[in-house]
Each structure stands twice: as structure tokens, then as C-alpha cells.
Amino acid sequence: MTHSSYAGSYAIVGGGISGLTAAYKLRRAAGDDALITLFEPAEVLGGTLRTVSVAGHPVDVGAEAFVVRRPEVGALLAELGLAGAQIDTTGARPLIYAGGALRPFPERTVNGIPTSAESLTGLVDHDTLAHVAGERSRHLQWETGADPTVEDVVGDRFGAQVVARSVDPLLAGVYAGSAATIGLRSAAPGVAAALDGGTASLTEAANAAVPPVSAGPVFRAVGGGYRRLVDELARQSRVEVVQTAVCRVSEDRDGWHLADASGNDWHADAVALAVPAPRLPPMVADALPSVAAAARRIPVASSAVVALAVAPGTALPDRSGVLVATGEPLRAKAITLTSRKWGRPDNVELLRLSFGRFGDDVARTATDEQLVVWAIADVSGVFGVTVDPVEVHVARWVDAMPQYAPGHGALVAATRASLPPTAALAGNYLDGIGVPACIASGTAAAERLLAAVAP
């Protein structure tokens, strides 16, 4: 990529993985002469990528792993010289807690949408299995281009138990949402595409969309925690970090002006907005009213994570963790057996419990003490063991989990089309909530701004 001699000035609002990726990609392409300023009010960069020490071991208390079949994380780590930092899971499989018992995790699904009745054996009752098995024989009504909720489709074709025990646990883990809040095109785009293409049943559509069986791992993580990626992005981007919250963005003939609540003002030729959707409306209401309006239409959920270090030898199953079905008498929506998933340290067992679903206020209102008590009770209720943690850490992610409601993709496309060339959006509310998608959004934002400023 060749650019003119003027390198340009760029403002990036938001220091999460999306904003840091944008800064790094801008620096690589625009060179040392570009002025790149990143605005982030938090004391540490990384957003929901946060690594803490628990009993002397690094534990990610935000995003934890990434999907291997997407290339973005691996490619970025390689660019940064961290290719060797990737670690595989132990191969331990998860379980589902449903009907008051631990049950098999469904095989070969698309975000919990089954490809056969056999894939749900042991998870749902016999009547539901028979209903799933007979789905191919029932007429399917589908309107090309439609984007119903996952619940509308799966509940109709497979029944409520499949929604509660197979789909909801996965969507709660990804979005802190449920089949009732997420559109099919976002949760399972391949399924929607197969239905558009004329498949005669949801079973066929799921089979067309399910990822191929791979001999390698489905997930990887960064050894030592995501902090290594965050720190290296910040170092190699050589970005000037301003620790403040931008409250207003405006555009004039000279470019973009950014202001904080103290009256400070900055100028840039181009701006990348890499903040959570709820922070956008007051910031851009005057300059980018269509962006503000779109952001108001994106619902958000909050979540909390409790990391526990417990005594070594605690009788936990050799599984990667447990996802919790809808309607169970547990507070947690998921329990990650960190030591069993990534490898056991000698001195402790590490666990992570996640709380909070769309529509509740647990992450906002529960005290740290309440969350820890609930975590200990859920570990006891699920595994039948009593634990006395030697160390705990609580993290909260308020309004950090966007819900990809029906029509989300069309909303994002229309919003992007309304942007001036020197403005870009990045973040987990756009094209995917996971780390790979956030890296892709930061990369796309940088490319857009480079094309406008230094063509």
C-alpha cells in the first residue's frame, strides 16, 4: 500500500481490542510520521480483554478464548511476533446443566441448533428427540431474507426444550442473551443462508452450515493472558494515549474535533470510534445523527465474572466447564473449569463463573460478596463439592454485551453507509462480538481512514 508524503493525524476513541488494532494497523501503513492519538478513560487498555493474577496465575476475566477457524487472532499474533504465544485447550469437553443434572454437550450443532436428533441424546427427553427426528417431514415456511429470532425458528421446528437446553446456553455464553433476543442471521448466518437457498428443513440447513470436523482445537487462548496481546499492540502502535473520556465529536472543513468534559479539545484528520454502542449517542448526536440513532437501537446486556482459586485436588470433573440451561435454579450462566480446560497449575484449581443475562441487573447491583457467595453455592450445587477459595477476583462488564437482534446486519450496513469517508466505526456491536471479529472491525476502520487521508 503506497501513500502520499502526508501521513495524517488520526484520533481513535476507545482503547479496547478494536481501537488498539486500528491504531496498530494505522501505524504499520502510515508510518512513523502519522500522528495517532488514542482516547481511553480507563487506567488500563484492553477493554474487556483483562488479565489478572489469581493465586499467582494469569487469568482472563473478560474474553478468554478465540475460535481457531477465524484467522484474525492468529494472524495478528504472528505480525506482532507472538505466534508462539497461542495455547491449545487440553481437549476436555464441556457439559450442560439441565433438569438439575449434568448432561452431554450436544455434538455437531450451529450455536446449539442441532443437525440431528442423535446430537441431542441425553440432553433432551424422548418426546423432544422424536420431534427433532421428524422435523424433515414437516413443511417449512421460510421467507427469503427474513431474520426472525433464533427462538422463533428453533422453538417452532424443534421445541422449547431444544431452545432452553441446547441453544440458550451457548447464546448466553456468547452474548449474555438468549434465543429470544438474538436474530438468526447473526447467531447462525450459514443456517439463514441455507434456508434462503431453499433447503426444505431446519435440520438440512444446520447440516449445511455446521463447521467441518477438524482434528485441531476449536479454541485457543494467549498463554499468559490477553494482556500480552494488548501490551504488544500498544507498544508497536506507538500511540499517544490520552486518559480521558471524549464526550463530543464534531466535524468542520479542517477535520474532526474531539472534546472532553473538562473543555479540552483535540483535532484530527480522521476519527475511528471504537467505543461500546451506549457511549455513542451523546458523543455523536450532532455530527453523526444516523450513528447515534442506530446505536440507540442496539440493546445491551451486562455480565460479571468471578474467578476462584481453590485447593488442589478438589474433586472436579475432567471437563472444560458447564453451560447452564435456561430456567435452572443456579445464579451462574456458565462455569469454566479453567485448570481442566487449559492445564492445571500445581498449587490450586482455577475456576471462572459468569453471571448476568439480558434483562437482569445482576452485574450492576450485586455486591462482590454476593457474587462470590453465589459462585461457591453454584459450584457446590453442580459438582457436589464444598470449596473454600484461597483467592477470588470479581470483574464487571456493564453494558458491554450487545444483543444482535433481528435486523441487526441491515442496521449496521445502513449506518456504515451514512458515514463520511474520514469517520469509521469499530467494536463488538458491529459484525461479531468475539475477539476475531473485533480485530477485523479495527482493521477495516484503519483501512477506511487510510484511504480517505492518504490515498
CA 390 to chain centre: 29
Ordered alpha helix ranges (H), 88-226: 126-133, 150-158, 160-162, 168-175, 184-187, 189-196, 202-209
CA dist 455 and 442 (Å) reads 19
Predicted pLDDT at 5 = 60
State the average pLDDT over residues 216-224: 92
Please choose, from the candidates 120, 103, 96, 104, the residue with its C-alpha nearest in 3D space to the C-alpha of residue 170.
Answer: 96
339 with 418: CB under 8 angstroms? no
pLDDT digits (tens, 9 = 90+) for 170-203: 999 999 999 999 999 999 999 999 999 999 999 9
> Which of the four pLDDT bands, split at 50, 70 and 90, describes residue 3?
very low
> Which of the four pLDDT bands, split at 50, 70 and 90, describes residue 344?
confident
Strand partners, 240: 37
Please choose, from the candidates 453, 425, 452, the residue with its C-alpha nearest in 3D space to the C-alpha of residue 441.
Answer: 425
State the average pLDDT over residues 379-402: 97
Strand partners, 53: 58
CA dist 321 and 387 (Å) reads 16
165 with 97: CB under 8 angstroms? no
Helix (H, G, I), strand (E, B) or coil at 74: helix
Edge-to-edge strands, sheet with 300-310: 101-104, 94-98, 321-324, 334-336, 349-355, 300-310, 391-402
Q: What stretch(es) of the chain map to CATH 3.90.660.20?
A: 68-76+85-92+300-402
Please choose, from the candidates 270, 283, 302, 299, the residue with its C-alpha nearest in 3D space to the C-alpha of residue 405.
Answer: 299
Please choose, from the candidates 51, 49, 42, 439, the residue with its C-alpha nearest in 3D space to the C-alpha of residue 242.
Answer: 42
pLDDT digits (tens, 9 = 90+) for 289-341: 999 999 999 999 999 999 999 999 999 999 999 999 999 999 999 999 999 99
State the average pLDDT over residues 125-144: 97
435 with 12: CB under 8 angstroms? no
End-to-end CA distance of the chain: 9
> Which of the four pLDDT bands, split at 50, 70 and 90, describes residue 158?
very high
State the average pLDDT over residues 393-414: 97
Predicted pLDDT at 4 = 47
**DSSP 8-state code for residue 105:** P
- Residue 436 CA: distances (Å) to CA of 109, 144, 341, 442, 449: 21, 28, 20, 10, 20
Q: What stretch(es) of the chain map to CATH 1.10.3110.10?
A: 109-209
Judged against a pLDDT cut of 90, whether residue 40 lies above it is answered with: yes
Helix (H, G, I), strand (E, B) or coil at 401: strand
Strand partners, 183: 149
Judged against a pLDDT cut of 50, whether residue 105 lies above it is answered with: yes
User: What are the phi and psi torsion angles at 334 (to 5°)?
Assistant: -160, 145
Between vectors from CA 399 to CA 397 and to CA 405, what angle results, nearest 5°?
125
Q: What percent of the chain has pLDDT over 90?
A: 95
**Domain 109-209 top-level CATH class:** mainly alpha
pLDDT digits (tens, 9 = 90+) for 430-444: 999 999 999 999 999
Q: What stretch(es) of the chain map to CATH 3.50.50.60?
A: 9-46+227-298+405-453
Predicted pLDDT at 455 = 65
| Lowest mean pLDDT across 3-7, 53-57, 320-324 | 3-7
Other Cβ atoms closer than 10 A to 255: 16
Kindly give the pairing relationship between strand 240-242 and strand 57-60: unpaired
State the average pLDDT over residues 77-105: 96
Other Cβ atoms closer than 10 A to 286: 12
Is 3.90.660.20 the CATH classification of the domain at 68-76+85-92+300-402? yes
State the average pLDDT over residues 417-425: 97
User: What are the phi and psi torsion angles at 135 (to 5°)?
Assistant: -65, -35
State the average pLDDT over residues 1-27: 87
Fold of 9-46+227-298+405-453: FAD/NAD(P)-binding domain (3.50.50)
248 with 226: CB under 8 angstroms? no
Rg (CA), the chain: 23
State the average pLDDT over residues 137-154: 97
